[in-house]
Structure 1
Amino acid sequence: MAAEGSKKKNEVPASRMGLCVAIVVFEIIGLFFMCIGSPYDQIKITADDWRVPKDLCYSVWGTKRCGASNPLAWHDAAFYARCGVFEATLKAAAAFSIISLFSFVIGASAALLMACKCVVSKVPVVLILLFGVITSAVPFAAIAGLYHNSQCKTRFKDVGKYQPGFPFFVVSWCMAVTSFILICFA
């Protein structure tokens, strides 16, 4: 009888294991979208009357002519001298996209360990996934802030439009939020 009770105590409930596996899947999807969204263009300049040439695209890794095959070669020192907050914000988004990549890997690993009953308490996993939610929110929030707020005497909303990298960041953040909500129920 005692052996049966101890066996049941060490078993992982099926619902908790299922939620942990779902968290691992959501974390991997979030990692995938963050990896893909980072090098893609975030904002494209479409207006002719702005201070920079038309058809420039900004990613978190730099500025370039729009298009997948164009290198990150365009750099206007005078523009960045006038608008230092722009370059600093893009660098912050790049840094946090790297940090969030690591948080997705650690979050998926922690959820997997929790599913295998290697982690007794879910508090560390909750904290790891909360860190992932915060770090994955910064890249898309920085881009949205550049787009909607007045930077360098203009709003990018008036002279440009979002590009494919931005929705990838948003989807990545949604996956982190979903993982965090699921771990609260595990």
Structure 2
Amino acid sequence: MLHTSLPGHITAREWSPYGAQGRTDLAVLNETTLEPLALVEMKAAYTFDFARKEQATVGKYSRYMADDLAKATTVGAGKARVYGLMLLTHPSSVPRQRTQVVKYGLEIARSLTHRSADDLSRAARENARLTLQVHGKVNDGTICAGTAFGIDVDINYCLCRQAKGCLLSTPTEFTVPWAFRNAIAAASPIHPSRFA
């Protein structure tokens, strides 16, 4: 969906101007010059991974994102806007199926033992926001992603535009946060009209 919503641009996964070194998760390129306009580094986790800010997984993902944003800044050579996108899968209840069927079923159940699904979602999104805000302004939200195994599932997202490393002073002709929201919605297993 992202590749069709930005006329005059090319979107590329695992893009690198140098071949195998320094790949970026997602790049938006000028269709004519192939110059990078926006580079996005993404990480995906579960809300239980971000339940408490002192969790080891929060620190681990924070380091991974910092390293990836530094890499993207280098690859973009100060010409491209650099973004970090954290996606947190959030099951609204404990799976009823055997744990062999639902990956991380025990972790999901444990994370909902002492708090509600809404409380977990809020805490995880806030911890992800804190992880990213050291790099720049963060937009966040929740997208309903449908159901799996009879459980409602949301995707919490935090999108950060890196404040440093970009020499552009005027916005490009596309709005990246809205384009990514549409791309996330398109990847959902349910009909895109739910995101209107």
User: Same fold, TM exceeding 0.5?
Assistant: no
- Which structure shows the bigger proportion of residues in strand conformation? 2
Q: Specify the structure having the higher radius of gyration (Cα).
A: 1
State the TM-score, normalizing by the size of structure 1.
0.29
Q: Using CA pairs below 8 Å that are at least 6 residues apart, which structure has the higher relative contact order?
A: 1
TM-score of the superposed pair, with normalisation by structure 2 = 0.28
